[in-house]
Structure 1
Amino acid sequence: MSDKLNPAQDEGLEIAQRMKEEEELGLRRVQGPPALIVPAIALCWSLFQLSLSSWLMLDSTIIRSIHLAFAFLIVFLSYPMFKRDIRLPGLRWLGEKQRIPAGDFLLAALAALAALYIAIDYDGLASRIGRPIGRDMLIGLFLVVILLDAARRVIGPTLPIIALLASAYAFLGPYMPEFLASKGVSLQRYVSQIALTTEGIFGIPLDVSARIVFLFVLFGALLERAGAGKFFIDLAMSLLGRYKGGPAKAAVLSSGFTGLVSGSSIANVVTTGTFTIPLMKKVGYPAHKAAAVEVAASSNGQLMPPVMGAAAFIIAEYVNVPYLEVCKAAAVPAFAAYMALFYLTHLEACKLGMKGLPKADLPRFFATLGAGFHYLIPIAVLLYELIVPRHSPDLAAFRAVAVLMGIMLVQGVVRGRRSGGPWAAGLRQGGGDIVAGLVAGARNMVSVAVATAAAGIIVGVVTLGLGGMITSIIDTLSMGSFALMLIITAIASLILGMGLPTTANYIVMASLTAPAIVTIAESQGIEVPLIAAHLFVFYFGILADITPPVGLAAFAAAAIAKSNPIKTGLQGFMYDIRTAVLPFMFIFNTHMLLIGVDSFAQGLYIFGMTCVGMFAFAAATQGWFVKRNRWYEVPLLLLVTAVMFRPGFVAGLAGMENSLGNKNLVYLGGLVLFGGVILMQKMRGPGKGTLVPGVGGESA
């Protein structure tokens, strides 16, 4: 692939890379021996987590406290108190970015000790649950405050503000208006629940982060360090680059590969967008559309099992179902969303009259596959471990990491021998790559660990007995309308997600609204499985990654494309409207989540019908199908969408019994209508908005 970046694109890539590094590595760029402190801590953290999955046996509460302590050390040594420089004499250390001031060393040590307190005095705290002594209260309050500051430094003010509001509500409940009133809690009960038990900060989200998520993030970091990201891009380009809009289709495919193990939209954008965005512009995509395609593809990567932006494991814990059940439920919507995005890039290429890249500019498929086939081995091991023997996710990830490390060592030796160097030097290179991957994996985990711990404050407040009150409030706001409640929940997820990482947004919304969705649905005679409610809020949390004005993924892609970030975000959101429709559909049509579906053939059948619905919706919203849509064709395409997404509802409207046979008849009617619209457009001769073969590209 022989496309070179021009100076402007180089500058944009540098900006995007800096955004990614600030998100993952912090703001400080320390020089000299002190620069080794944070990498050393990160390496120890990774080795500790790998030990837990192999030989080290510890109580889960102790594991959570050590996990949080490591995160605190890296946060306070990597992120200054303030992002801007402080000019006041004596306070300049608060914004220091070139060295680690003594004040932050002290804060890091105190924060780590506060996190470890529940492990240090484990037996004592267990013997006085609900009756904290003065020392417990002091350390517990300090832990809450220092955690909120850590979250503010790493992910911004949104999550700390929400946690503070939830905490304030816990105390001020008796003084609120009648429909918001609750009996409130004492300071002693609050501190005990939030900071000294496993019902708050040290709750389920932090447990999942410590036991499972870390290893998957580490696996992704090691894969990236080994060079798999470039391999996925080249493989996608070799397959799709020569077709109409090929670079955009390759962006979708490569982002799907990367999303299998990545938990970050912005990381996906910078990894794949570096190559795909310039190539999309080269074949004719406007800058903002090239960036928007990459943003949509990268954000959708977090929908993809088996990792789902680290949320899959937390969903499994909250819903109390096996992890593979979560992957099964998420499979059809995730893959259908990707297929629809793939189709959407084709529609855009048709509208713009594009061609693919010359074959000479593309990598060869078999040569690319042969050169990088070893990158697929650890992914295959991971999937095998999860699906065939059904080992626990942490054990599966550990074994995949072990295989990947072995491959990286061999790869270093092979590369060293090919360049004429001694095998020992190649072995050192492979070992160096492994160490760098271990450090990167731990540093990438900081935001997840801090976000899950801080979100635990909100979870703890809810479990103080306020969950029923929240359901009542949501019911009041929605005026008893289930549809309006879903819309309110979706909007709240989007708004919260503008300032929260996907995992934290999911935890907050799952704690506040997912149980309410199920309860209110039951009161209206609607059966909504708990996993459907959790996936609903999860989907809208991911969409927030590209929602203007805050979506960081859109800003990173816009920097690479040199486009307007707001325009890029809006275009990306337009592309992702198809994803926004899916959660509303699977709430009412749980077959899309394969609930009650045990046959593989039936699952494929449902997937196919869902894809047809998604294609029809994409064609309706993009204004193009085989040719440019006429006004009367749009409602027909939307009707196809409704039929494919809600066959049971359509059967009921037609006066038919809601049976499998009647649903199949409805599906058949939808396919006939879909084919009819295709035939209508094909029968139209070339005209306005129609591509003529040989002029600006082939016909659609």
Structure 2
Amino acid sequence: MDDDKEKVKYLTEEEQQKLLEKYDPEAGTRKLKGMLGYIAFIGLLAFSLFQLYTAIFGVFTAQIQRTIHLGFALSLIFLLFPANRKKRQKGKFQIAWYDIVLAVLSIGVGAYWPLFFEDLVMNVGRLGTLDFTVGLLAILLVLEATRRAVGIPITTIAVLFILYGLFGQYMPGFLSHRGLTFERMVQTMFFSTEGILGTPLAISSTFIFLFLLFGSFLIRTGVGQYFNDLSTAIAGRRVGGPAKVAIFSSALQGTISGSSVANVVTSGAFTIPMMKNLGYKKEFAGAVEASASTGGQLMPPIMGAAAFLMVEFIGNGITYWDIAKAATIPAILYFTGIWIMTHFEAKRLGLRGLTKEEMPSKREVIGKVYLLIPIVAIILLLMSNITVTHAALYSILISIVVGFINKDVRMKFMDIIYALVDGARTALAVAAATASAGIIVGIVTKTGLGLKLANGLIDLAGGYLIPTLMLTMVAALVLGMGSPTTANYVITSTIAAPAIILLGVPDLSAHLFVFYFGIIADITPPVALAAFAAAGVSGGDPLKTGIQSSKLAIAAFIIPYIFVLSPQMLMIDSTWMEVVWVVFTAMTGMIAIGAGVIGYWVRGMHWIERITAIIIGLLLIYPETITDIIGLTSFAILLALQYFKKQGNKNLPTILDNGHNIERID
């Protein structure tokens, strides 16, 4: 069948961890032992208990809540994340004396607001020498912690914004501003709620932490493996089954995962070897998993925790449920697009589904459907009038009950403790990223850069919407490279979204537009972290995997334009009939585009047919009555031509070659 075909070889947990550490900075933590190991363990546990306490009994004053959250995160990052991740000794990272010093300084920074709250409030705007020193130290610690736990890209962006804030008077044209003094910079960054202690960290210290904790408890219930089994039971027997299992499983994993790379490695360790064994090329197998796993960040209800930030950034009375509801149809279309293309690729290659022997027991899969109760519960709770905080708390309790019911894992007291520790560990990088994102937001607010860039983009696009969208797309793709979901959204929504909003686009459409392209940066070369991680699992070429991923995720490059031009897709001020029609035409268009990209529909397609199919798909996706009519008519004609040509080939007599029958291949 293919040179890539080989016996299925699943990655061990150790191999998965190595891949995560290579491509996901959040996974590269030290394995501390002895006294420091106990200190880190207790610190992580205390972090979770603090967050649970404030969730149950109410949060403290903004500055106190956020600095304690920040102090926990920074000190633990310096203990757990090495300055140089490449240096190892005997399987664990070596801790340096300066890491301990930085951890202690971080505790001091975290305690400063709680200890001197009244004095700081009374002296607002006036910084003493100690205040200035602590504030400057906080900025430096945040930048270094972000570099260690999140990566260089977002740290570099934050540093550039600080430099812009300080030396803006030397910038050319519309970018010029008066420039901030060092004192004003420090005051904004740490002694106001417009910088490090701004909205991003506020969301991290409340909603995001609890949902990451929920994900940690959910994993302890055994739901991760169940996602794979359920996906295999539903899609495994279909044409090219393992690829469809990967799509379905990644969509489910995305409901709880906050990382594209983690999704790729955990789900891909199961699905990619199966795809290779079936006959998919290494790069295609990796691309299916990478594009599907990245799409998991677009899947409600969690959406990489960005949905909670979106509520605060958009305002205007919008609720979390409004965002989750609006994101549902685009997410379905995204996964449908990948599903369609993998189906056509499987048909083109003549790939089978899994055999009955390779399938899990349906009785066992159905018998464990109760593992989905926490996910269903959190969706229902978020739909109700209950607060997001209480929805997360109740869902955590439900997860514990479900974990106790599942006889395969049977959650015990220490499992609860480990879940609390793992949840806090997951939150460290998010806290650092949101703190750095706060620096960026603070500079944008103080200098008016957001509006300046928005006007600059519009002027460059000649004041037209489509060119502005294209320029904004490029900006979001560049800004989103190498950044985690939450920081990614903060950056793109602050810098890129205002340009679209100025042209009259609804706020929600504009924010989802930049959110989509920021996320797709994970599979867009040259960075493409999710694609590179998938290539690490498949053994394929990373760059080719990234290119294939971008092709499979073509829906993500088209769908945002649809919901900007036609907000009905987001169920904004629309009837159900309008929503159904937009979804129908968009889905039909995705079939045509998928066939054109892969080169197979009912039969193999000539290059002219492929180009025609893509044009038809774009006509159907564009929300206009005339384009829908032309697109549907052309779709029917091309489908009929494909069908009749295939039937004609079937009726042709077989060709004899040296007395042997040779079947006609479409």
How does 1:328-477 map onto structure 2 within 5 Å?
328-370=325-367, 372-387=368-383, 389-411=384-406, 414-415=407-408, 430-466=412-448, 467-477=450-460
Instruction: Report the more deviating stretch, 23-32 or 585-594.
Output: 23-32
Aligned residue for 1:379, secondary structure, equals: helix
Q: Structure 1: which 5+ residue stretches go unaligned?
A: 87-91, 417-425, 522-526, 652-665
The CA distance in 2 between the partners of 1:6 and 1:28, in whole Å, is: 35
Residue identity opposite 2:45 in structure 1 = L
Percent identity for Structure 1 against Structure 2: 37
Q: How much does 1:635 deviate? A: 4.4
Match of 1:533 among 510, 518, 521: 510
Match of 2:162 among 147, 162, 167: 167
Residue identity opposite 2:596 in structure 1 = A
The C-alpha deviation readout for 1:627-654, integer Å capped at 9, x for no partner, is 2223443344334323332233x54xxx
User: Residues 281, 689 of structure 1: CA spacing in aligned structure 2 closer, same or farther, 3 A cutoff?
Assistant: farther
Q: How much does 1:386 deviate? A: 0.9
The CA distance in 1 between the partners of 2:146 and 2:65, in whole Å, is: 20
CA contact (8 A) 1:13 1:560 kept: no
User: Corresponding residue for 1:294?
Assistant: 289
1:100 corresponds to 2:92: no
Match of 2:485 among 502, 505, 511: 502
Q: How much does 1:561 deviate? A: 1.2
User: Residues 108, 698 of structure 1: CA spacing in aligned structure 2 closer, same or farther, 3 A cutoff?
Assistant: farther
User: Corresponding residue for 1:485?
Assistant: 468
Match of 2:136 among 134, 141, 166: 141
Match of 1:49 among 48, 51, 55: 51
The CA distance in 2 between the partners of 1:614 and 1:7, in whole Å, is: 33
CA contact (8 A) 1:337 1:614 kept: no
CA contact (8 A) 1:137 1:188 kept: yes
How does 1:62-141 map onto structure 2 within 5 Å?
62-85=64-87, 98-141=93-136
How does 1:188-227 map onto structure 2 within 5 Å?
188-227=183-222
User: Residues 293, 689 of structure 1: CA spacing in aligned structure 2 closer, same or farther, 3 A cutoff?
Assistant: farther
Q: How much does 1:598 deviate? A: 4.8
The C-alpha deviation readout for 1:330-368, integer Å capped at 9, x for no partner, is 111111111111111101101111111111210122321
Q: How much does 1:297 deviate? A: 0.6
The CA distance in 1 between the partners of 2:178 and 2:460, in whole Å, is: 21
Aligned residue for 1:146, secondary structure, equals: helix
CA contact (8 A) 2:333 2:555 kept: no
The CA distance in 1 between the partners of 2:460 and 2:396, in whole Å, is: 48
Q: How much does 1:221 deviate? A: 1.8
The CA distance in 2 between the partners of 1:264 and 1:697, in whole Å, is: 47
Instruction: Report the more deviating stretch, 613-622 or 204-213.
Output: 613-622
User: Residues 12, 431 of structure 1: CA spacing in aligned structure 2 closer, same or farther, 3 A cutoff?
Assistant: closer
Aligned length: 651
User: Corresponding residue for 1:423?
Assistant: none
The CA distance in 2 between the partners of 1:37 and 1:209, in whole Å, is: 23
Aligned residue for 1:647, secondary structure, equals: coil
The C-alpha deviation readout for 1:375-423, integer Å capped at 9, x for no partner, is 1111121111111x23222211110111111222343xx459xxxxxxx
Q: How much does 1:476 deviate? A: 4.6
The C-alpha deviation readout for 1:447-474, integer Å capped at 9, x for no partner, is 1111011010010001103233333333
Residue identity opposite 2:489 in structure 1 = Y
CA contact (8 A) 1:12 1:560 kept: no
CA contact (8 A) 1:15 1:556 kept: no
User: Corresponding residue for 2:657?
Assistant: none
Instruction: Report the more deviating stretch, 614-623 or 676-685.
Output: 614-623
User: Corresponding residue for 2:300?
Assistant: 305
Instruction: Report the more deviating stretch, 176-185 or 147-156.
Output: 176-185
The C-alpha deviation readout for 1:553-589, integer Å capped at 9, x for no partner, is 2222212211122221111111112211111222222
Q: How much does 1:97 deviate? A: 5.4
Q: How much does 1:126 deviate? A: 2.0
Aligned residue for 2:56, secondary structure, equals: coil
The CA distance in 2 between the partners of 1:138 and 1:673, in whole Å, is: 68
User: Residues 17, 261 of structure 1: CA spacing in aligned structure 2 closer, same or farther, 3 A cutoff?
Assistant: same
User: Corresponding residue for 1:659?
Assistant: none
User: Corresponding residue for 2:605?
Assistant: 629
Q: How much does 1:494 deviate? A: 1.7
Q: How much does 1:98 deviate? A: 3.7
Q: Give the alignment's TM-score, normalised by structure 1.
A: 0.87
The C-alpha deviation readout for 1:50-79, integer Å capped at 9, x for no partner, is 222223442233221121111112210011
The CA distance in 1 between the partners of 2:601 and 2:114, in whole Å, is: 61
CA contact (8 A) 1:610 1:645 kept: yes
Q: How much does 1:477 deviate? A: 4.2
The CA distance in 2 between the partners of 1:360 and 1:673, in whole Å, is: 43
User: Corresponding residue for 2:562?
Assistant: 585
User: Corresponding residue for 1:612?
Assistant: 588
User: Corresponding residue for 1:150?
Assistant: 145
Aligned residue for 2:412, secondary structure, equals: helix
Residue identity opposite 2:33 in structure 1 = Q
The CA distance in 2 between the partners of 1:232 and 1:536, in whole Å, is: 29
The CA distance in 1 between the partners of 2:135 and 2:205, in whole Å, is: 20
The C-alpha deviation readout for 1:573-624, integer Å capped at 9, x for no partner, is 111122111112222222122111254x543443233222222222222222
User: Residues 494, 9 of structure 1: CA spacing in aligned structure 2 closer, same or farther, 3 A cutoff?
Assistant: farther
User: Residues 689, 469 of structure 1: CA spacing in aligned structure 2 closer, same or farther, 3 A cutoff?
Assistant: farther
CA contact (8 A) 1:409 1:431 kept: no
Aligned residue for 1:53, secondary structure, equals: helix
